[in-house]
């Protein structure tokens, strides 16, 4: 059985989750390789998942973990679609540089 | 309710005394706002140095050392803060250090394959954190789905979409790194925005975190958090609609991915980087999934059905 999951422990896990989220955001903003950009978005998913599980452990409920299952499902769907689009874009211009698709900016 | 005067005094740790209210230890904020701002500025500068750019490798490693030192200082402040309350376990510090280090390497490594492998390391460390939070099933699922399935797809796409080494920068050792991997897009703005948000979040969590309401008595809500049986019951009983929606989303994503990946690509004719084969005598391509060559005089290619 879980022993007590204190408020301080919750704060520590939240800090780790938010730092991971911020690192992923930096990567998404400044990297130019489309694949690395989507890896960074997966990092942001991870940070959010840590927060969900930490709150679930704090409250002694399973809702946090079941939401992480949905995060995993959405991440899998997003990875499949994004990688299909990346392959398509690569076949079009023979590069995965996000700067090469500037005409999408409108 | 929280007394506003008390909340104000919590914002400034010089004024805040460690108080015991309602039988619970209320920790004062470990970080003054000035310390948070200083740490974020230093970490932002270090990340800016560390991100791929047109700099020497030595300057990038200096940035890495500064970022590591900033992280160690932050960790030391947290350790000192919680030492009075028993502190976190050693495994928490180890796993979170590995996770954060690997995630920094994900965004700063110039080779995408290494980024993906460092992301696997992040996933393993996160799974360790999940085990510490009694979420054993989720840890196993995370390793299976992320490290086993999603990352394999990423590595496959990295290998499929690796381009010819024409547009390289740098000399001998870096000659396989293409230009968009070696140079970031506005790294200064990105790292400062990211660390501004990180600093705000960390300060908010450490400042107001002790005001998160206490959970109800855990003895009556005795749930085995690691049990897959309980988790499955929670999924079916409380989130039945969501499970069905997730199934629909996964099916749609699969159909969409297959549809997208099988689409025929028309290469823009004005793009000079791709040579269009004009002369006849190109080898006859019988693979129905290959990309047709437009603008050719080869009758076999002209006759290719455009569906």
Nearest chain B residue to A47 by CA distance is B126
Q: What ranges in B209-239 are assigned the alpha helix state H? A: 228-238
Its ipTM equals: 0.93
**Is A26's CB within 8 Å of B193's CB?**
yes
For the entire predicted model, the pTM comes to 0.79
Q: Which of A4, A7, A25 sits opposite B210 (nearest CB)?
A: A7
Question: In chain A, which residues have their Cβ closer than 8 Å to the Cβ of B190?
Answer: 26, 29-30
Question: Cα–Cα distances in Å, from A84 out to B156, B158, B248?
Answer: 11, 12, 19
Give burial (CB, 10 Å; 0-12/13-18/19+) of B165: exposed
Q: What is the pLDDT of residue B89?
A: 85
**Is A61's CB within 8 Å of B194's CB?**
no
- How many CB contacts within 8 angstroms connect chain A with chain B? 287
- Interface with chain A: mutation pick from B253, B254, B256, B273, highest number of A CBs within 10 Å: B253
- Interface with chain A: mutation pick from B70, B103, B255, highest number of A CBs within 10 Å: B103
Tokens of B200: 């705000």
Q: What is the pLDDT of residue A25?
A: 94
Q: What is the pLDDT of residue A2?
A: 47
Tokens of B87: 């502190």
Give burial (CB, 10 Å; 0-12/13-18/19+) of B32: middle
Which residue, among B133, B303, B237, B3, has the nearest Cα to A4 in the 3D structure?
B133
Tokens of B195: 């660390």
**Residue B264 distance to chain A (closest CA, Å):** 9
The backbone torsions φ and ψ at residue B99, rounded to the nearest 5 degrees and listed phi first, read: -65, -45
Q: What is the pLDDT of residue B25?
A: 46
Contact between residue A37 and residue B157 where contact means Cβ atoms under 8 Å apart: no
Q: Which of B163, B209, B223 sits opposite A61 (nearest CB)?
A: B223
A86 — contact with chain B (CB < 8 Å)? yes
**Is B202's CB within 8 Å of A40's CB?**
no
Distance of CA A53 to the CA centre of its chain: 15
CA dist., res. B96 & res. A106, Å (int): 41
- Interface with chain B: mutation pick from A2, A10, A11, highest number of B CBs within 10 Å: A11
A104 — contact with chain B (CB < 8 Å)? no
**Is B123's CB within 8 Å of A46's CB?**
yes
Q: What is the pLDDT of residue B16?
A: 37
CA dist., res. A7 & res. A3, Å (int): 13
Q: What is the pLDDT of residue B10?
A: 44
Q: What is the pLDDT of residue B274?
A: 53
- Interface with chain A: mutation pick from B83, B135, B186, B204, highest number of A CBs within 10 Å: B135
Q: Which of B27, B185, B265 sits opposite A91 (nearest CB)?
A: B265
Q: What is the pLDDT of residue B6?
A: 45
CA dist., res. B132 & res. B142, Å (int): 14
**Is A23's CB within 8 Å of B186's CB?**
no
A101 — contact with chain B (CB < 8 Å)? no
3-class SS at B146? helix
Q: What is the pLDDT of residue B106?
A: 93
**Residue B12 distance to chain A (closest CA, Å):** 18
Sequential pLDDT tens for chain B (307 residues): 444 444 444 443 433 333 333 334 445 666 778 888 888 999 998 888 888 887 778 888 898 999 999 999 998 888 888 877 777 788 999 999 999 999 999 999 888 899 999 999 999 999 999 999 888 899 999 999 988 889 998 999 988 887 655 544 444 444 567 777 778 888 889 999 999 999 999 999 888 888 888 777 655 555 677 778 888 888 898 889 999 999 999 999 999 998 887 877 666 655 555 555 544 444 555 555 665 555 566 555 555 555 5
Tokens of B105: 């390497």
The rounded average pLDDT for each run of 10 residues, N- to C-terminus, in chain A (106 residues) is 70 93 94 91 94 89 89 92 89 82 76
A94 — contact with chain B (CB < 8 Å)? yes
């Amino acid at each position: 059985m879980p022993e007590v999951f204190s408020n301080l422990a919750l704060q520590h896990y939240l800090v780790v989750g938010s730092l991971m989220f911020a690192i992923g955001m930096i990567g998404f903003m400044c990297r130019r390789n489309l694949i690395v950009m989507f890896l960074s978005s997966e990092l942001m998913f991870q940070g959010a998942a840590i927060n969900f599980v930490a709150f679930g452990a704090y409250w002694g409920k399973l809702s946090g973990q079941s939401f992480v299952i949905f995060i995993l499902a959405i991440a899998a769907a997003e990875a499949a679609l994004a990688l299909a689009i990346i392959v398509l874009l690569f076949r079009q211009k023979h590069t995965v540089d996000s700067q090469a698709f500037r005409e999408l900016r409108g | 309710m929280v007394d506003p005067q008390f909340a104000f005094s919590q914002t400034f740790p010089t004024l805040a005394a460690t108080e015991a209210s309602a039988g619970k230890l209320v920790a004062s904020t470990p970080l003054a706002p000035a310390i948070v701002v200083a740490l974020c500025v230093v970490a932002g500068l270090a990340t800016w140095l560390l991100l791929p750019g047109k700099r020497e490798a030595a300057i990038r490693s200096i940035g890495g050392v500064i970022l590591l030192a900033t992280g160690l200082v932050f960790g030391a402040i947290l350790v000192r803060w919680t030492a009075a309350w028993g502190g976190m376990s050693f495994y928490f510090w180890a796993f979170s250090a590995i996770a954060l280090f690997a995630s920094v390497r994900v965004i700063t490594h110039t080779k995408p394959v290494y980024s993906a492998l460092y992301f696997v390391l992040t996933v393993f460390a996160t799974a360790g954190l999940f085990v510490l939070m009694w979420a054993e099933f989720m840890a196993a699922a995370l390793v299976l789905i992320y490290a086993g399935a999603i990352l394999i797809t990423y590595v496959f796409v990295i290998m499929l979409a690796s381009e010819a080494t024409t547009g390289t920068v740098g000399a001998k050792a870096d000659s396989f790194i293409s230009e968009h991997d070696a140079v970031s897009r506005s790294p200064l703005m990105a790292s400062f925005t990211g660390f501004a948000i990180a600093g705000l979040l960390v300060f908010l969590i450490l400042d107001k975190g002790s005001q998160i309401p206490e959970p109800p008595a855990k003895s009556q809500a005795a749930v085995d958090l690691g049990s897959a049986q309980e988790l499955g019951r929670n999924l079916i009983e409380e989130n039945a609609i969501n499970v069905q929606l997730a199934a629909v989303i996964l099916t749609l994503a699969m159909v969409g991915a297959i549809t997208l990946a099988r689409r025929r690509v028309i290469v823009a004719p004005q793009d000079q980087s791709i040579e269009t084969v004009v002369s006849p005598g190109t080898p006859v391509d019988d693979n129905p999934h290959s990309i047709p060559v437009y603008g050719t005089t080869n009758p076999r290619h002209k006759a290719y059905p455009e569906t």
